[in-house]
Each structure stands twice: as structure tokens, then as C-alpha cells.
Structure 1
């Protein structure tokens, strides 16, 4: 498996006493406000030393956190739950960056497959312990099927085009920008199921290890303020912001805007409800844990009951 490592330093010359916060991230238009903040110097102005380490897939992001290579990760709620089960690093969600409101994460199939039921006995490319697996499970569940009805082909999404080239797989679960590259190479692929059908279940977040938060209690508040500033900047300067973000994703402006319009990126005030008690994420977390347990990816009983760092957001909003 090939990994793409691109280290983006927000601050340079960090001393041993001021080590940068390392955050794993993959290409996804819903996270681009973090890089926009970097480009505009918002992190530096907030006194934060951040190092983004970019990987080729969500699965790689999750593993980097599990192996202790990073302090945090931009990922989905699904990845947080799995990482929590796999390690004792106790990831806490500090930011809900947004969620897809239309078909962004998609189960694509070759044109000879007419519906989800036709996937029985077929090979499906998927990131096994990540978002792709969850979407596949929900697609099968919604059609009274199980994982035993299909043949899994665990793979990194960067390899999906070549898997179809060689005829190794009949379907794949993919997301932008990888899905754009996949469709460019194989325009015959058609969508069978997508995130649009389970709106609210796939949540994009930023999670940090609990130890980091405890040792640096002001970090979360600073990150929240920077995020809110970046979201506001995009809304006030859309042409400049989109140009910066599209270029970094290696997408045309049209491609980026098409995807971006399908993602609800949240300001702090818009995501406050996720950090209340109870939270809308409580039920979503439990549903996700149950589904992942059914296919033996986790043992739900050994997972945390609380993935949220709730304290900071109300304090930051009170200061506005």
C-alpha cells in the first residue's frame, strides 16, 4: 500500500518545549478550512504550532493516530470509535467540521450490476476499518443483506482505479477527490447507494488525544476560534477561499464547488448543538458501535460512552 506523506508546517523553528501538535488528515473538501486557516496565518496568529500530516486515506489517518504518530486526526465519527477501541489514547472530538448533505460518499458498481441485491457474491473494494466499511454495511442492511453476502477486497481508495482496470473488483465505496479520479477513469460506474440516504450518520470531526487536552487546556479553545475564523473567511471571500482550497486538492474550481455544495461545513454556532447533553451524536455513536460490533470490528462494551470534549465550545461562544 502506498502512502502519501506531505508534511505541512504552520510554524517553523519549534523548540523541544514547544513541539507542534501533529494532526493526521486526508484529502477531503470538508477539511479544507483547516488548510485555509494555515494559508492565511490564522493558526500562527492564535499562538498555535500545528503540523498537518496528510495521508492517502481515512484508514491511514486512523492508523497514524492509533500508532501514536500524531496527536489528533481529522476524520469521521466512525474512525474515532474504532481508534478508541483499538487504543488507550482516548480520542475526544473537539470540533464537528460538518457532514455530507448529498451524495458524496458513494457505493459505485460496474454497469452490469443493476442494484444492491446484485452485489451478492461480488468483489467490493473498501477500506475495511473506516468510513467505507460503514457505508457498505448500511447499504447491505437496507436491502436485507449482510457482509457474508459479498466478497470484501480491502484496499486503499488510491488503488481503486487500477483494481477496476484489472477486473479485480465489481464495486467500490469511494469519496472525493478519489471518486472523481475513479469516475474519470471508469465513467461506466454507477452509484447504487450513498451518504445522502443516511444523512446525519456520517459526521466529519477533529479529534485530539485526551492527554494533549489535559496538558494544554487552552489549545481546544484556540483551535475552535481559528476554525470559526476560517469558515467566516470562506463565506466573506468565497472566490479567493475556493481558489486556495481547490488548488490544494488538485481539483478544478468547478469540481471543488460541485463537491463543496454537497457538504454542510459548520461554524461554531451551527455545531454547538452537538456538544450539548444529551447530544445528537449520542444516538449516532451507539448505532455505529452496534453496526461495527455486528461484523466484529469492535467490541462495543469496551468503547467509551463519551467521545466529546464539551467544555470549550460554550466558553468560546460566550466570548463572542
Structure 2
């Protein structure tokens, strides 16, 4: 069972941080899941573009786990969706967004049994989703399109790492999924019912970090972002080589990697400056819209300050 998001964030803030004792450590740990939009960061590790002595990417089974690790101080940074970042801030975490990975444009998907042909046919069905993550937001908008209420469906709390098993064991009729899991589910007979193209600007992926860590090790965070953008350039210049390197971690073939990448708009340095450094930052406007949607759907209740969310100090110079 998933922990209540407010309870685990509030409780975790009461725990001592792992870095609180002794001198500051130069190592920064970044929690991340397998998601097509985050893969350029992990490609940077594969290409040897990250200093392993100062940067460690910590692979997590779900964004819920990433949030918990960030809240408890087990990591200094995490790859999250914008709505998850807002949940963290609502829970009292002083985190800033220092990088925008992507805007989902088809890679977040409602996968369903072949007999379900229309969103309205989700009524009475068991829908697996990660309720502390973007899945709850995606489902809320899908039900809105279908003309259904939350009580019209049966929600099955399910982290991403359990999706394939739950599908194979017939525990669910539909899943709020994303790439590469959506491609893997499709191979098992699931069909794509609806994707994030129906909700432009709803799901944005960001790299967030604790403000204290940013102030303690600014050079390391600059190196982290430089490695990410170098890997992104490699992906654009040598897509097949990059896809071949990314395929094992994603668990799909290189050609499927390239297909999955078409479902996200990856943000280069110039785009990141527009999202983080413009006056006002585009990310803040997007965050305010997401807060309104989340509040309307009961996904967020407390105040969320977004004015200082975007932190562009660690971006490379635009080229």
C-alpha cells in the first residue's frame, strides 16, 4: 500500500539528514526511475560524462520511492514530474527545479485491455496507478474526458515496477503507464487508449534538488547538468548509437527506444533558459496551472509557493 503523500513527506522532514553530521560531502546522489525523458541523464553516465567520485545516479523502482528518498535525505536530488515536485514543496521540502528534461507529448499512456475501446468504458474497471505520482493527475484528466467520476472506477495502487506483473496476473483492466513500460505492455497485448497528447503541458519532467545541497556543492551540480546536455547532444547527433546504449536499461529494443523518444519533447539549453531563466520563468506559469488542476481534483490541499521554484544558476551557457 502506498503511503499517504503528506504523511511520509512530513514524517521524513523530522528525520536527521544523512549529510547533517560531519563535514559536507562532495558527493551528490540523484534518484531516478526508468522513464524515456530521463534517459539522457543516464546516457551521460554510460558515456563517462559524469564524475563517479562526485555524482551518483541512484536507480529507483518508482517516483514514490524517489520522493521518499528525497524527503528523508537519502539523496540530494531527484528526477520528478512537475506535479510531484509541487507535492514535495507542499510537504515542506525546500527544493528547486534546476533542469527541465521534457514535456510529455504521448509517452504517458493509459494502457487497457483490448475490449476497452473508449475512455468511458473504464467505468467499473480496475485501474492501476501510482497515486503519489503523475498517474493520479493523468487519471483525473482521463476521467474528465470520459465523463466519469473517481468513484466510477476501482483504483489499484501500483508502483511502476509492478505494472507488468499486475497485467500478467490479471489484477488490473487498465494502467496509467509511461514509456518504456507502455511498449512492454503493448507487447503483452495491451492497447493504447489515451496518451498525454490529449493534455498538452500537463506532464513536465524536472530535476529538483534540495536548496541546501545546491548551496553546498554548486560546481558539482553544474557538472551534472553539463554531462546531461552533452549526452543530449550525442543523442541528437548519433541517435542509433545512443539508442543502443539506452536500450538495456529501458528493457526495449533500440528501434523501440527511438519510437518512445518521439513521445517527449526533450529540452536543450536554450529551451531550459526559457523555462527557468525568463522573466517570468515559463516553469512557474506551468506550475501555477498544474497547482490549479491538482487542487480542483483534490490532489493537493495546502498552499504551494511557486515563485522561487525555478533556479537557472546551474545551466551551461546557451550555444
**Structure 2 length-normalised TM:** 0.85
Query: Partner of 2:152 in structure 1?
Result: 149
1:117 aligns with 2:120: yes
- State the secondary structure of the residue aligned to 1:205: strand
- Decide which of 284, 293, 296 is 1:294's aligned counterpart: 296
- TM-aligned CA deviation for residue 129 of structure 1: 1.1
Q: Which moved more, 1:60-69 or 1:289-298?
A: 289-298
- Of 100, 105, 108 in structure 2, the residue corresponding to residue 105 of structure 1 is 108
Q: Is the 8 A contact 1:89 1:210 kept in 2?
A: no
Segments of structure 2 that go 5 or more residues without pairing to the other structure are 3-21
Given that residues 24 and 216 in structure 2 are in contact (C-alpha distance below 8 angstroms), is that contact kept between their aligned partners in structure 1?
A: no
1:154 Cα offset (Å): 0.7
- 1:88-237 alignment runs, 5 A limit: 88-101=92-105, 103-185=106-188, 187=189, 189-237=190-238
Question: Taking structure 1 as reference, are residues 306 and 145 closer, same or farther at Cα in structure 2, changes over 3 Å only?
Answer: farther
Runs of 5+ unmatched residues, structure 1? 3-14
Q: How far apart are residue 107 of structure 1 and its match?
A: 0.8
What is the deviation of 1:235? 2.3
Question: Deviation of residue 72 (structure 1)?
Answer: 0.6
SS in 2 for 1:108: strand
Identify which range, 128-137 or 254-263, moves more after superposition. Answer: 254-263
Given that residues 100 and 267 in structure 2 are in contact (C-alpha distance below 8 angstroms), is that contact kept between their aligned partners in structure 1? yes
SS at the partner of 2:96? strand
Contact 1:224–1:268, Cα closer than 8 Å, also in 2: no
Q: TM-score, normalised by structure 1?
A: 0.85
**Post-superposition offset of 1:295:** 4.0
- Cα distance in 1 for partners of 2:170, 2:227 equals 45
Q: Which among 265, 275, 279 is matched to residue 281 of structure 2?
A: 279
Q: How does 1:234-245 map to 2 (within 5 A)?
A: 234-245=235-246
**Structure-2 separation of matches of 1:82 and 1:36:** 28
Q: Residue 37 of structure 1 contacts residue 226 of structure 1 at CA under 8 Å; is this kept in 2?
A: yes
Moved more, 260-269 or 163-172: 163-172
- Residue among 29, 48, 56 paired with 1:51: 56
* Pairwise CA RMSD: 2.4
Conserved 8 A contact 2:288-2:306: no
